[in-house]
Amino acid sequence: MPTDKKDRHTSDVKLTLRLPVRSNGRQLFCIEKTGTEAWLPRSHTCFNRLDLPPYTSYDQLREKLLLAIEETEGFGQE
């Protein structure tokens, strides 16, 4: 995945590209399996969580993840 798309994905999950002021450098987030393969991945910035549907192939995962990154932004995605 190109760097600009990785950065955008990271910001979707983390809300910001910067670490908090009092951070020890580690910022963990959870990946939770949820939904059906028709769903797009969904981020929850308040909980540092990425909801990832159970896709049947790497190609499907990549397609849906890129679609979610490129075509959605901000709040109100539900």
Q: Which domain does 65 fall in, by range?
A: 29-73
pTM of this structure: 0.61
Number of structural domains the chain divides into:
1
Length of the chain: 78
Q: Is the dihedral of CA 29, 14, 75, 58 positive or negative?
A: negative
Whose structure tokens read 């399996």?
Answer: 33
**Residue 60 domain-assigned?**
yes
Give the residue ranges of DSSP H helices in the chain: 3-14, 58-71
30 is catalytic: no
Residue-level pLDDT at 33: 95
**Residue 35 domain-assigned?**
yes
Active-site pick, 46, 57, 58, 59: 46
What average pLDDT values come out for the chain (78 residues) when binned by 10 residues?
59 54 73 93 83 95 89 62
**Residue 20 domain-assigned?**
no
